[in-house]
Amino acid sequence: MNGYNCLFLDRDGVINKHRPDDYVKTWNEFEFISGSLEALARCSNIFRYILIVTNQRGVSKGLMSEEMLKSIHEQMVGEINQNGGRIDKIYYCTASSKDDINRKPNPGMALQALRDFPAIEFTRSIMIGDSDSDIEFGRRLGMKTIRVGINGLMEAMDLVNSND
Protein backbone atom coordinates (compact mmCIF):
# COMPACT_ATOMS: atom_id res chain seq x y z
CA MET A 1 0.00 0.00 0.00
CA ASN A 2 3.05 2.23 -0.28
CA GLY A 3 2.37 5.38 -2.25
CA TYR A 4 -1.31 5.54 -1.33
CA ASN A 5 -2.46 8.27 1.04
CA CYS A 6 -6.21 7.75 1.29
CA LEU A 7 -8.37 4.70 1.90
CA PHE A 8 -12.02 4.90 0.90
CA LEU A 9 -14.19 2.15 2.35
CA ASP A 10 -17.74 1.07 1.77
CA ARG A 11 -19.43 0.17 5.06
CA ASP A 12 -21.85 -2.74 4.61
CA GLY A 13 -20.03 -5.84 3.46
CA VAL A 14 -16.59 -4.35 4.13
CA ILE A 15 -16.67 -3.36 7.81
CA ASN A 16 -19.93 -4.92 8.95
CA LYS A 17 -22.00 -7.85 7.77
CA HIS A 18 -24.77 -7.29 5.26
CA ARG A 19 -28.28 -8.04 6.36
CA PRO A 20 -29.80 -9.96 3.44
CA ASP A 21 -32.82 -8.10 2.06
CA ASP A 22 -32.65 -5.65 4.97
CA TYR A 23 -30.73 -2.67 6.31
CA VAL A 24 -28.77 -2.11 9.51
CA LYS A 25 -31.33 0.05 11.29
CA THR A 26 -30.08 -0.10 14.89
CA TRP A 27 -26.78 -0.66 16.67
CA ASN A 28 -28.07 -4.08 17.80
CA GLU A 29 -28.26 -5.11 14.12
CA PHE A 30 -24.71 -3.94 13.39
CA GLU A 31 -22.18 -6.78 13.38
CA PHE A 32 -18.50 -6.25 12.58
CA ILE A 33 -17.07 -8.71 10.07
CA SER A 34 -14.50 -10.89 11.79
CA GLY A 35 -11.08 -9.25 11.51
CA SER A 36 -12.35 -5.85 10.36
CA LEU A 37 -11.41 -4.08 13.60
CA GLU A 38 -7.88 -5.49 13.42
CA ALA A 39 -7.61 -4.55 9.74
CA LEU A 40 -8.71 -0.98 10.50
CA ALA A 41 -6.06 -0.73 13.22
CA ARG A 42 -3.42 -1.83 10.69
CA CYS A 43 -4.74 0.63 8.08
CA SER A 44 -4.59 3.47 10.59
CA ASN A 45 -0.80 3.15 10.62
CA ILE A 46 -0.57 3.18 6.82
CA PHE A 47 -2.99 5.78 5.45
CA ARG A 48 -3.12 9.52 6.04
CA TYR A 49 -6.91 9.44 5.65
CA ILE A 50 -9.46 6.69 6.15
CA LEU A 51 -12.92 7.59 4.90
CA ILE A 52 -16.19 5.70 4.66
CA VAL A 53 -18.44 6.31 1.64
CA THR A 54 -21.76 4.52 1.99
CA ASN A 55 -25.16 4.52 0.30
CA GLN A 56 -27.84 4.37 3.01
CA ARG A 57 -31.21 4.55 1.28
CA GLY A 58 -32.93 2.89 4.22
CA VAL A 59 -33.37 6.47 5.45
CA SER A 60 -35.18 7.61 2.29
CA LYS A 61 -37.32 4.47 2.45
CA GLY A 62 -38.45 5.50 5.94
CA LEU A 63 -36.96 2.41 7.60
CA MET A 64 -34.78 4.50 9.89
CA SER A 65 -34.10 8.15 10.62
CA GLU A 66 -30.95 10.03 9.80
CA GLU A 67 -30.43 10.43 13.56
CA MET A 68 -30.49 6.63 13.94
CA LEU A 69 -27.91 6.32 11.15
CA LYS A 70 -25.67 8.91 12.83
CA SER A 71 -25.99 7.03 16.13
CA ILE A 72 -24.92 3.76 14.48
CA HIS A 73 -21.93 5.53 12.94
CA GLU A 74 -20.93 7.13 16.26
CA GLN A 75 -21.00 3.77 18.00
CA MET A 76 -19.14 2.08 15.13
CA VAL A 77 -16.38 4.73 15.21
CA GLY A 78 -16.18 4.38 19.00
CA GLU A 79 -15.57 0.62 18.69
CA ILE A 80 -13.01 1.17 15.93
CA ASN A 81 -11.16 3.75 18.08
CA GLN A 82 -11.21 1.45 21.12
CA ASN A 83 -9.54 -1.23 19.00
CA GLY A 84 -6.71 1.00 17.77
CA GLY A 85 -8.22 2.08 14.46
CA ARG A 86 -9.67 5.30 13.19
CA ILE A 87 -12.11 6.72 10.69
CA ASP A 88 -11.42 10.31 9.71
CA LYS A 89 -14.90 10.97 8.35
CA ILE A 90 -18.03 9.18 7.16
CA TYR A 91 -19.85 10.30 4.03
CA TYR A 92 -23.27 8.85 3.37
CA CYS A 93 -25.99 9.25 0.81
CA THR A 94 -29.60 8.63 1.83
CA ALA A 95 -31.07 9.34 -1.62
CA SER A 96 -32.82 6.51 -3.43
CA SER A 97 -32.38 8.01 -6.91
CA LYS A 98 -29.43 6.68 -8.88
CA ASP A 99 -29.17 10.15 -10.44
CA ASP A 100 -28.22 11.79 -7.13
CA ILE A 101 -24.63 13.11 -7.40
CA ASN A 102 -23.80 11.64 -3.98
CA ARG A 103 -25.12 8.14 -4.63
CA LYS A 104 -22.34 5.73 -5.61
CA PRO A 105 -21.12 5.18 -8.25
CA ASN A 106 -21.51 8.94 -8.77
CA PRO A 107 -18.58 10.99 -7.42
CA GLY A 108 -20.36 13.30 -4.96
CA MET A 109 -19.08 11.79 -1.72
CA ALA A 110 -15.50 11.76 -3.03
CA LEU A 111 -15.81 15.41 -4.05
CA GLN A 112 -17.08 16.25 -0.53
CA ALA A 113 -14.05 14.44 0.88
CA LEU A 114 -11.72 16.43 -1.38
CA ARG A 115 -13.23 19.69 -0.09
CA ASP A 116 -12.71 18.50 3.51
CA PHE A 117 -9.24 17.04 2.90
CA PRO A 118 -7.61 18.95 0.00
CA ALA A 119 -4.44 16.79 0.16
CA ILE A 120 -6.36 13.76 -1.14
CA GLU A 121 -5.18 12.59 -4.53
CA PHE A 122 -7.62 10.13 -6.07
CA THR A 123 -4.88 8.47 -8.10
CA ARG A 124 -3.09 7.78 -4.80
CA SER A 125 -6.25 6.43 -3.16
CA ILE A 126 -7.71 2.96 -2.75
CA MET A 127 -11.43 2.13 -2.77
CA ILE A 128 -12.45 -1.10 -1.07
CA GLY A 129 -16.00 -2.29 -1.63
CA ASP A 130 -18.14 -5.32 -2.19
CA SER A 131 -20.41 -4.15 -5.02
CA ASP A 132 -20.25 -3.08 -8.64
CA SER A 133 -21.17 0.49 -7.66
CA ASP A 134 -18.26 0.66 -5.18
CA ILE A 135 -15.76 -0.45 -7.79
CA GLU A 136 -17.21 1.81 -10.48
CA PHE A 137 -17.06 4.75 -8.02
CA GLY A 138 -13.35 4.18 -7.46
CA ARG A 139 -12.54 3.59 -11.11
CA ARG A 140 -14.34 6.74 -12.26
CA LEU A 141 -12.06 8.72 -9.97
CA GLY A 142 -8.85 6.93 -10.95
CA MET A 143 -8.46 5.02 -7.67
CA LYS A 144 -7.02 1.56 -7.21
CA THR A 145 -10.03 -0.64 -6.46
CA ILE A 146 -10.33 -3.83 -4.44
CA ARG A 147 -13.53 -5.86 -4.44
CA VAL A 148 -14.07 -8.07 -1.41
CA GLY A 149 -16.35 -10.98 -0.62
CA ILE A 150 -17.82 -12.10 2.69
CA ASN A 151 -14.58 -11.56 4.63
CA GLY A 152 -14.64 -7.82 3.99
CA LEU A 153 -11.71 -5.60 4.88
CA MET A 154 -9.60 -8.43 6.31
CA GLU A 155 -9.82 -10.12 2.90
CA ALA A 156 -8.60 -6.92 1.21
CA MET A 157 -5.64 -6.70 3.59
CA ASP A 158 -4.74 -10.31 2.81
CA LEU A 159 -4.93 -9.58 -0.94
CA VAL A 160 -2.68 -6.54 -0.59
CA ASN A 161 -0.15 -8.35 1.58
CA SER A 162 0.06 -11.23 -0.88
CA ASN A 163 0.86 -8.75 -3.69
CA ASP A 164 3.60 -6.88 -1.73
Amino acid at 17: K
Strand, coil or helix: 150: coil
Is 10 known to be catalytic?
A: yes
Is 158 known to be catalytic?
A: no
Taking the alpha carbons of 43, 46, 50, 52 in that order, is the dihedral positive or negative? negative
Catalytic site residue from 12, 99, 116, 130: 12
CB 109 within 8 A of CB 91: yes
Catalytic site residue from 10, 21, 116, 132: 10
Query: Where is 154: in which H helix or E strand?
Result: helix 152-163
Catalytic residues: 10, 12
